[in-house]
Structure 1
Amino acid sequence: MIGYILRRLAQSILVVLVVTIIVFILLHQLPGGAARAILGPRATALQVAQFNAANGYDQPLLVQYFRQLGEWFTGNFGFSIKLNQSVSSLLVQRLPKTIILSLLSLILTVIVAVPLGIYQAVRRNRSFDYIATGFSFIFYAAPTFFIGIIMIEVFSQNLGWFPPEAPQSNGIGPIFEQFDAMVLPIVTLALLSIAGFSRYMRSSVLDNIDQDYVRTAQAKGASPRRVLYHHVLRNALIPIITLLGLSLPALFAGALVTESIFNFPGMGLLFWQAAQSSDYPVELGVVIITAFATVAGNLLADVSLAVIDPRVKL
């Protein structure tokens, strides 16, 4: 087990290094360079030269990369020109909110998708299975912004059940104090994942129902409920665990649009505003943090999979 974890950790570190190289290359592929992108097209040649000298962009690329790599790993992502604030402080303010939004939507996804997939597998090729499959395809194909707009129109404008805007106060406390304002963003983000997770769960349960160990348990007189929840469920959850780690990038992509629609002050809205104002240091900081979170999520999923499924260690 220890050897497996060390190998996966080494692979994760390598992936993070590759991501930093790609981000570094993209930074230097900006039109006119980073100086022109940050200072604007009206900056003079003298201003560009002074900016490059002050930030080390006049040094060799290899020297620049290792200097930038050291700054990234110490939490220094530069300074936001538009917001007049360090990128690190912006990430510290916004990251916990996005984590809470993504975590709550992920919990809702698992609570709904796992039982739904199991029930679809048990009642396969029946009316409920067809109806649930149809709704899954609809939500799986629907864009995030479309679902969010429908949620606001129906549950906020027409029915008046929930506010159309997420909590705007700083800190994590208002999220739970004004939780009714969080319902629509959480449900919007969760609906996209429920559609995919339920389909994976249904397929995984159907694959395990036909295995020899299920027939053996049935031959020993085990009840259908015991066979399903004691034998089948544990093995059927293995693909879902892997999917949880792989869902982090999709959750962030969905959070970017969801936070923009509901004006939720998280990392997604921060990235959206930075893209509109060409605030490249903020964009690069968000990309690096997202890459770290994605690699960490995949590593956690792999380790959890090795704990649950002994075949992985082989």
Structure 2
Amino acid sequence: MTTTLYLLRRLLQAAIVVFIVTIVVFALLHSLPGGPARGVLGIHATAQQIAQFNRQQGLDKPLPVQYFIYLGQILRGDLGNSFTLNEPVSQLIVQRLPKTLVLTLAQAVLALIIAIPVGMWQARKRNSPADYVITTVSLVLYSTPVFFLGLVLIAVFTQIVPLFPSQAPNGDTLAQVFSDPAGLVLPIVTGAAAMVAVFSRFMRSATLDNLDEDFVRTARAGGASTNAVLVRHVFRNSLTPVVAMLGYYVPVLFGGSLVVEQLFNYPGMGLLFWNAAQSSDFPVLLGCVLVIAVATVCGTLLADILQTLIDPRVKTTRS
């Protein structure tokens, strides 16, 4: 299968998954206690108000017709209105999503910068005392709840050693968020810690697998040093599973951002989702679920594309 056909197939699969996601979100919307009208208008809404709302929103039509109306609204960017903030959900997401993307991308970049060299170094020093120490530290970081790690960092770096503020910068724009870079340090480190543990383990395992390949033995037989073999021959091949893991880690990133943003009062999608859950703002909740689901599909698609660029053998093994 050529690269073009493989990518076209993946695009088709992504479109089908997004279509299924819209059906699931539509079903969730109609599974609210009392229906969407009750969820939006609240428990004190009268039967007359609910009937009027259903007529205005087309909720008195058959379910298939309602779904295509809902799908048309999504394609126009209309995700409904927040009944607690009295703003369009799409506008709220447009305001918050870039901030979450900045936070999660910074966490991922920091994690990869640390995890990739650490994982390769562990593979080179496998079964050494240093390898065991780093493995133990990684397991501790991976098993530590994000909120607990964040609280520890806040206690240490705002009370004992006051280097950073306990709250992330707030503001309606990215410029206002970037105006206080010191406030981003603790949220980024908190979210990146567990990712470092995961990615370093994947990188170590992938490097060890590649070190046993024939091309590595051939390079060593030709007189190449261990460092040269790692950099020239092993590094690129070992990135494939890490890139794949990064794509599938998108929902974990958003899930972690919910905790991190609430903990550090960072005005992103996570905090928006948290506040909506506290106030039972169902349109905001379902809008966030839809956006996160689509971002997950796009993340896995991007990971597959990067894999084919790093290792063209991927498309043949999956065809």
Per the normalisation by structure 2, the TM-score is: 0.97
> What percent identity do the matched residue pairs reach?
53
Long gaps (5+) in structure 1: none
The structural deviation recorded for 1:177 is 1.9
Whether 1:82 and 2:76 are equivalent positions in the alignment is no
- Give the superposition deviation at 1:73: 2.0
> 1:74, 1:199 → 2: CA distance?
43
Of 215-224 and 167-176, deviating more is 167-176
Partner of 1:208: 210
Distance 2:218 2:136 in 1: 34
1: CA distance between counterparts of 2:76 and 2:149? 39
Partner of 1:109: 111
Number of residues of Structure 1 aligned to a counterpart in Structure 2: 314
Report the equivalent of 1:273.
275
1:196 aligns with 2:214: no
| Mapped pair 1:237 → 2:225 | no
CA distance in 2, matches of 1:35, 1:118: 55
SS of 2:139's partner is helix
Q: In the alignment, which residue of structure 2 is the partner of 1:96? A: 98
Measured in 2, the distance between the counterparts of 1:258 and 1:313 equals: 36
Q: Work out which of the residue numbers 14, 31, 48 in structure 2 matches 1:12.
A: 14
Displacement, 1:72? 1.0
Partner of 1:217: 219
- Structure 1 residue 183 and structure 2 residue 185: aligned? yes
TM superposition shift of 1:313 = 2.8
CA separation in 2, counterparts of 1:309 and 1:169?
42
The SS at the match of 2:272 is helix
Paired residue for 1:137? Answer: 139
Q: Is the 8 A contact 2:98 2:174 kept in 1?
A: yes
For 1:312 and 1:26, the matched residues in 2 are separated by: 36
1:179-222 deviation per Cα after TM superposition (whole angstroms, max 9, x unaligned): 00000000000001111001100111111111111101101111
> Quick check: 1:2 aligned with 2:18?
no
The one-letter amino acid paired with 1:166 is: A
Partner of 2:297: 295
CA RMSD for the aligned pairs? 0.9
Look up the match of 2:260. 258
Looking at structure 2, the residues matched to 30 and 169 of structure 1 have their Cα atoms a distance apart, in angstroms, of 33
1:135 & 1:34 partners in 2: Cα distance? 47
- What is the distance in 2 between the residues matched to 1:310 and 1:37? 49
Q: Distance in 2 between matches of 1:313 and 1:290?
A: 26
- Residue 237 of structure 1 aligns to a residue whose secondary structure is helix
Is 1:308 the counterpart of 2:318 in the alignment?
no
Secondary structure, counterpart of 1:27 in structure 2: helix
| AA matched with 2:229 | V
Instruction: Give the CA deviation at 1:312.
Output: 2.1
What amino acid sits opposite 1:39 in the alignment? L
1:73 aligns with 2:62: no
Q: Output the CA distance in 2 between the equivalents of 1:174 and 1:139.
A: 31
CA distance in 2, matches of 1:223, 1:83: 62
Q: Distance in 2 between matches of 1:157 and 1:58?
A: 57
Task: Find 1:37's aligned residue among 33, 39, 42.
Answer: 39
CA contact (8 A) 2:169 2:178 kept: no
Where structure 2 has 5 or more consecutive residues not aligned to the other structure, the ranges are none
| Structure 2 residue identity aligned to 1:248 | V
Deviation string 1:60-118 (CA, Å, 9 cap, x unpaired) is: 00001111011112211011110011111111110100000001111101000001111
Alignment of 1:59 with 2:65, yes or no, is no
Give how far 1:159 is off: 1.0
| Cα distance in 1, alignment partners of residues 84 and 176 from structure 2 | 26
Contact 2:116/2:200 (<8 A) preserved: yes
Q: Equivalents in 2 of 1:36, 1:95: separation in Å?
A: 28
**Cα distance between partner residues in 2 of 1:67 and 1:285:** 16
